[in-house]
Structure 1
């Protein structure tokens, strides 16, 4: 698997064309395959990756279709407000096309972004660009921090089918908010 070419040090806030956004989707797919080598045939619905230098990373598969996979990647933090998940990214993997996009609840079909004169299309491209640049940088960071969900790394399976409601997870070098 080839390594994706690095993004510019300071990527533009929005792409000029849909093709630039799709290129980012392809780069993110290459990074995601490095993080989850068994992406084409995941044998688990949830897993936990631990790293010596980073918070535990949660993976949840929420939907499997013939050519697509919907995933959730998230850290869990415990602070004075309770359990928080951040970043909490939902991803759609298009396995046949070799692309992944960071999703949001309210989506605008990509073909609507083809008319670059439409202000709504520019807004859609800009929002997708920001989300997917965030995904790109986070995936790079996760890989550099030693995270991975490959079977050779023997991911730790979560017992419940949903994320656990309580957690005592504290990032390395940080004290828990509840004083314990």
Structure 2
């Protein structure tokens, strides 16, 4: 029996096409869901110690159908500390999509920073930012990161 390839639509989608971008958002969602299985995120901040570094998650905004999250590694200490990659993502729980909406311009990914006005260049900027998110989520999972541990902080009233 032939093995069904997961995310086959992503491989078949044309890069920088609307269909390809939506496929990438769906893949981002699936990977984030593996990283944080409780998508209602019953905490405001959490960290996951993996094989290489500690991954930090902070909930920035909660809305009825979306959650906006800051996800990063922190390197260094005190004033010398830097986040890299420094990504903000929005998880659309109803549509089951996750979009990288911001990448800090001070990071080495400066060309991916900011969210442009909607015009013909949107796909050219959204594609690399979300491809970075997609590959980084895969890397975090491979490093053993997870926010599903029972001892993580809980939001008041989340129990």
TM-score normalised by the shorter chain: which range applies?
A: 0.7 to 0.9
2:68–2:89 contact (8 Å) kept in structure 1: yes
Deviations 1:106-143 (A, max 9, x none): 3434xxxxxxxxxx41x210110000000010000000
1:4–1:27 contact (8 Å) kept in structure 2: no
Q: Which residue matches 1:63?
A: 61
Q: Which residue matches 1:106?
A: 115
2:70–2:86 contact (8 Å) kept in structure 1: yes
Q: Whose radius of gyration is greater, 1 or 2?
A: 1
Q: Which residue matches 1:93?
A: 91
Q: Which residue matches 1:77?
A: 75
Q: Which residue matches 1:173?
A: none
TM-score in terms of structure 2 length: 0.77
Deviation at 1:79, TM superposition (A): 6.6
SS at match of 1:137: helix
User: Which of the pair has the greater relative contact order for Cα pairs under 8 Å at 6+ separation?
Assistant: 1
The reply on whether 1:5 has 2:7 as its aligned counterpart is yes
> Which runs of structure 2 are paired with 1:1-180 in the superposition (5 Å)?
4-5=6-7, 14-15=15-16, 17-39=17-39, 41-51=40-50, 53-78=51-76, 82-104=80-102, 105-109=114-118, 120-121=119-120, 123-150=121-148, 153-154=149-150, 156-157=152-153
Query: Structure 2 regions of 5+ residues with no counterpart?
Result: 103-113, 155-159
TM-score in terms of structure 1 length: 0.68
RMSD (Å) for aligned C-alpha atoms? 2.5
Corresponding pairs, count = 137
